[in-house]
Amino acid sequence: LYIRHSRSCDEQAVFDFYSSHPHKFVAKRDADLWKERIHSGAVTLIEDDQGKIVASAISYPVTQKNAKGEDTHMWSEIGSVLV
């Protein structure tokens, strides 16, 4: 097994993985959010010897407004975990 972060070229494979392995405790998020997370490398992928995704997790930023009213990244949620 190989662990790596997502690249832009992984977009369809990530969407296909989650679509073909539905789970009641893994909610699908907004497609645009997933695309941004995939392209930014925030998706951790575990692949087999043939490069097939066998597990995945996605890091989501959690933000709050600061004193100036700007969104500030406070912490990250690790979600959409599917093995």
Residue 28 has a pLDDT of 86
Q: Is 43 exposed, middle or buried (0-12, 13-18, 19+ CB in 10 A)?
A: buried
Could you give the 3-state DSSP secondary structure of residue 64? strand
Q: CA–CA separation, 81 vs 58, rounded Å?
A: 7
Mean pLDDT, range 41-70, rounded to an integer:
97
Percent of the chain scored above 90 by pLDDT? 98
Q: How many other C-beta atoms are found inside a 10 Å radius of the C-beta of residue 77? A: 10
pLDDT digits 0-9 by tens, 19-32: 999 999 998 899 99
pTM to 2 decimals? 0.88
- Among the residues of 1-71, which ranges form H helices? 11-20, 31-39
